[in-house]
């Protein structure tokens, strides 16, 4: 089979989004203080997610950091995190000086093993950070019940799951605060950006002050940038600080496209769902090729999928050989390009239960691969990818060029966090 040719992942901005960016510049709406791009986005985000309050921030990492800081994280605290998540979930905790405890998954799944979490809880456990992956739902209700029972504050890292639902409620609206990412690998993509949502007015106000270097008006106790402040207030009463803060103001220019895209985000999610459906039709019932457990295509309306998540049965396949064959067939393929938290050299220093063996999450880490759903792929492209992937699997045991690393000396040049592709498209000469 010939190597396939499909588009890499790139942002496609609509005319309306481009116009919105230009308007943002033309109207001098490039600062949160003068325009309404940010507040409009926040309003739309809260409405979409059916949350009371939302605040835009520069990215999700800082959204988690601002949340932990305003909720009073301290060096004595322990935070429970899943063993498999992006480093961005972990850095805000260790940068706050707290310690982490790492929990395992259920078998072949990324649902949290509730019993393993119970063993980690001590009087010092202050937060649990539930981190969604690839737009799939979590067993968040069980996690929430556990947190309530033990007085632990639940925070959701929803960077990878904007639009995902559990029992008709959006991921990110179960805990005290949900933290979102709008970077270029996510569902609602604006380049760089993040946000928090919460139903708690006090937390909302505290995070708002936090993002504006803690500034508060003496007279009104409102944030310095809220719309009902006046020059009189500023000049007569001045600003005060009554809490923690940093400058975490988002750029309206970044959000000027998002303010349009969020109106159409269900169309974007639905297109990815259609691609996911096609993959499932084409790639089901192949021995040793399994979808992540808890994934059920009949629940597709709950998923806001970033990619198709395949867990290879390691009795049949070596993941790296499948990746190599796929790259050489032109398939944009992804894997966890980071290890588990417990195996991370730096994070290890902050893990309390570092001697635990967390086998299930390690298995998922080591045997998962991802096939793409991004916008620049057509349904025809998905069919091509399925055919090429089946070719890789059908020929897995044969000694053909696509599995020969030495034949291809190019570097992988395209890497967006989820997918790998080689730069030049070599013609594969099959020996068969
Ligand atoms: C699970 C998870 N949390 C947090 C983040 C951080 O998002 P951002 O890049 O907006 O800081 C990411 C980004 O890849 C992520 O995957």
Rounded distance from Cα 401 to ligand 1 centre (Å): 36
Q: What is the pLDDT of residue 219?
A: 59
**Ligand 1 in reach of 85 Cβ (< 6 A):** yes
Say yes or no: 396 and 345 in one domain: yes
Q: 4 lies in a domain?
A: no
pLDDT in tens, 325-351: 998 899 999 999 899 999 999 999 999
Q: For residue 400, what pLDDT is reported?
A: 93
**Is 160 a pocket residue for ligand 1 (Cβ < 6 Å)?**
yes
Residues of the chain with pLDDT under 50: 424-428, 430-432
For residue 188, the Cα-to-chain-centroid distance in whole angstroms is: 10
DSSP string, 378-397: -HHHHHHHHHHHHHHHHTTT
At a CB cut-off of 8 Å and minimum separation 6, what does 284 contact?
A: none
52 and 145 share a domain? yes
**Residue 88 near ligand 1, beta carbon < 6 Å:** yes
Domain co-membership, 244 together with 275: no
Ramachandran area for residue 337 (φ above 0: left; ψ -120 to 50: alpha; else beta):
alpha
Atom 1 (ligand 1) nearest CA: 86
CB-ligand 1 contact for 4 (6 Å cutoff) = no
Residue 410 DSSP one-character state: P
Three-state DSSP string of 284-303: CCECCEEECCCCCHHHHHHC
Do 245 and 115 lie in one domain? The reply is yes
The rounded Å distance from CA 85 to ligand 1 centre is: 9
pLDDT in tens, 262-321: 999 999 999 999 999 999 999 999 999 999 999 999 999 999 999 999 999 999 999 999
Check whether residue 33 and residue 138 sit in a common domain.
Answer: yes
CA of 79 to the centre of ligand 1 (A): 18
Per-residue model confidence (pLDDT) at position 221: 56
Would 429 be classed as within a structural domain?
no
CA distance 217 to 230: 10
Per-residue confidence (pLDDT) for residue 8, from 0 to 100:
84
**198 CA distance to ligand 1 middle (Å):** 18
Tokens linked to 167 = 């029992």
91: CA distance to ligand 1 center in Å? 11
257 and 168 in one domain?
yes
Query: What pLDDT does 211 receive?
Result: 93
How close is the Cα of 89 to the center of ligand 1, in Å?
7
Is 190 touching ligand 1 by the criterion CB < 6 Å? no
Instruction: Give the domain-ending residue among 263, 286, 321.
Output: 263
Q: Among the atoms of ligand 1, which is closest to the Cα of residue 62? A: 11
The last residue of one of the domains, among 238, 263, 288, is 263
Residue ranges in 95-139 assigned as alpha helix (H): 114-118
Q: Is the CB of 248 under 6 A from ligand 1?
A: no
**Domain's final residue, options 235, 263, 291:** 263
326: its two tokens: 């796929």
Domain match, 350 and 243 both: no
Query: Residue 278: CB partners within 8 Å, gap ≥ 6?
Result: 379, 382, 383, 386
Ligand 1 close to Cβ of residue 67 (< 6 A)? no
- Residue 159 tokens, joined: 């960077």
Ligand 1 pocket member 59 (CB < 6 A): yes
Q: Inter-axis angle of helices 379-394 and 319-328, to 10 degrees?
A: 130
Determine whether the shortest distance from the Cβ of 90 to ligand 1 is under 6 A. no
CB 374 within 8 A of CB 118: no
Contact 340 CB / ligand 1 (< 6 Å): no
Tell me if residue 363 falls in helix, strand or coil: helix
* Cα-only R_g, the chain: 23
Q: Are residues 192 and 82 in the same domain?
A: yes
Same domain, 275 and 259: no
Query: How high is the pLDDT of residue 426?
Result: 45
Q: For the chain, give me the number of helices (H) and strands (E)?
A: 13, 16
Nearest Cα residue to atom 4 of ligand 1: 88
Residue 9 lies in a domain: no
**Same domain (yes/no): 175, 324:** no
- From start to end of 249-389, where are the E strands? 289-291, 307-312, 368-372
Range of 40's domain?
15-263
CATH of the domain at 275: 3.90.1150.10
Q: How many domains does the chain have?
A: 2
How remote is the CA of residue 432 from the centroid of ligand 1, in Å?
43
128: left (phi over 0), alpha (psi -120 to 50) or beta: beta
Closest by CA position to 363, among listed 108, 101, 115, 132: 108
């Amino acid at each position: 089979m010939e190597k396939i040719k499909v588009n890499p992942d790139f942002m496609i901005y609509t005319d309306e989004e481009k116009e919105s960016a230009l308007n943002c510049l033309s109207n001098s709406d490039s600062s949160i203080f003068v325009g309404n791009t940010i507040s409009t986005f926040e309003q739309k985000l809260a409405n979409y997610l059916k949350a009371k309050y939302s605040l835009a921030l520069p990215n999700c990492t800082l959204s988690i950091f601002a949340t932990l800081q305003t909720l009073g994280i301290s060096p004595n605290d322990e935070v429970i995190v899943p063993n498999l998540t992006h480093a961005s979930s972990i850095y805000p905790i260790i940068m706050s000086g707290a310690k982490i405890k790492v929990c395992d998954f259920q078998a072949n799944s990324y649902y949290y093993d509730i019993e393993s979490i119970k063993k980690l809880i001590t009087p010092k456990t202050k937060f649990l950070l539930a981190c969604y992956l690839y737009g799939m739902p979590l067993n968040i209700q069980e996690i929430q019940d556990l947190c309530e029972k033990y007085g632990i504050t639940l925070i959701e890292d929803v960077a990878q799951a904007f639009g995902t639902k559990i029992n008709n409620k959006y991921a990110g609206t179960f805990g005290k605060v949900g933290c979102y990412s709008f970077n270029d690998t996510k569902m609602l993509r604006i380049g760089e950006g993040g946000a928090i949502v919460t139903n708690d007015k006090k937390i909302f106000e505290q995070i708002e002050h936090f993002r504006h270097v803690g500034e508060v008006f003496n007279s009104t106790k409102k944030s310095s940038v809220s719309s009902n402040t006046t020059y009189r207030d500023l000049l007569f009463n001045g600003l005060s600080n009554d809490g923690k803060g940093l400058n975490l103001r988002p750029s309206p220019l970044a959000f000027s496209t998002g303010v349009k895209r969020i109106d159409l985000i269900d169309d974007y999610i639905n297109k990815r769902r259609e691609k996911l459906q096609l993959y499932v039709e084409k790639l089901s019932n192949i021995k040793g090729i399994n979808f992540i457990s808890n994934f059920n295509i009949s629940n597709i309306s709950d998923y806001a999928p970033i990619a198709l998540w395949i867990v290879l049965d390691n009795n049949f396949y070596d993941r790296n050989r499948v990746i190599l064959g796929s790259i050489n067939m032109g398939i944009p393929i992804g894997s966890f390009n980071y290890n588990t938290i417990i195996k991370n050299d730096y994070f290890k220093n902050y893990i309390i239960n570092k001697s635990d063996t967390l086998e299930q999450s390690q298995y998922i880490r080591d045997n998962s691969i991802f096939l793409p759903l991004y916008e620049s792929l057509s349904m025809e492209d998905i069919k091509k990818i399925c055919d090429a992937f089946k070719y890789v699997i059908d020929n897995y045991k044969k000694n053909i060029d696509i599995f020969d690393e030495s034949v291809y000396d190019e570097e992988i040049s395209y890497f967006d966090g989820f997918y790998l592709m080689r730069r030049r498209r070599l013609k594969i000469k099959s020996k068969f």
